[in-house]
A and B are shown apart, each in its own frame.
Chain A
Amino acid sequence: MAIFLSRKNKVIVQGITGRDGSFHTQQMVDYGTQVVGGVTPGKGGETVHGVPVFESVEDAVKSTYADTSVIFVPPKFSVDAIYEAVDAGIKLVVCITEGVPAIDMLKVYHYVQSHGARLIGPNCPGIISPGLSKVGIMPAQIHRKGKVGVVSRSGTLTYEVVFALTNKKIGQSTVIGIGGDPIIGTNFIDCIDAFNKDKMTDGIVLIGEIGGTDEEEAAKYIKKNVKKPVVAFIAGRTAPPGKRMGHAGAIISGGTGTAEDKIKALNAVGIPVADLPAQVADLMAEKLGTAKKKKKSAKKTKKSSK
């Protein structure tokens, strides 16, 4: 198993006829994702890479029984697109779009919650369960099927870390980019909780960055609930305060959200934080190695006590 996304998810692409939507539809189909339809108002009846296009999410769901959606529409229309998907009964919405106003996201978040759906993003690369399915824009070939869960606020930085893991032959159960905006549908804790419960995940990688206190909250949660090994990386040690570092959410404001605070909070609960992205793989290898030994020796003592 993996978290949130398996082979079973039936996916529609909102904005399938656009440049990015069409390109990534092909990529997802090639990877083996069940892409069952797309939505672009005014283009119902067409096909994109063999995938049928519908007028609305409601139409698409009726015909295809889709339960998952990925959104590639421009920021102006993406809030409406999320509401439309959830209203039509979609349970997992992945919003790739960057530039959604935070005030809108406040309402979207509570709407999605109250309908029992899950939103990943906005402003995110999406989610991949290697070997099973991918719903997003990440380059598939750098991933490797395995047992480490990765959750990150970033896109290319996640690729960097995943690449390092894969080079060390440490495969991934699921890799989720939760997005770089201040208000996002799925937070670190949601993913860590799911990874913690997932039998096929042995270790967790958390990739954070400056801004907000999501990493600090995650540290507290891990201390209380998680026994699986966790390692982290935090981007933005050199970021100046008060400046938005690309991501809308990556800003140190009013003295909160510094990399230093986050690293301190993680270290305080025994989570090692890598100095360099590639070191995450070394730290994870170490942790998994010692965890295995512990398991083995635990078994031995059990036997000997018999």
Chain B
Amino acid sequence: MKRFTCGELVESITAYLDDALDPPDRAGFETHAACCDDCRRYVHQFRVTIRAVGDQPPEKLTDRTRERLMSAFKQRRQS
């Protein structure tokens, strides 16, 4: 099992969350996080950030573009 420093752990969070660490690294990550309050807080804030990024407002095409595309789609069928 790899021993993680705090500096190494914070650089591995995305790999950890994507399940891209090999088993010894994954175990090392979890062992360090289990006994390091600072890193646990950082990981928590990282997850909060990811959730917050996913909460962006919806966007729409302008009516003009949308209508233009809808009519191009309709015409395709007739051609």
Q: Do A and B come from one complex?
A: no
A: residues with CB less than 8 A from B are: none
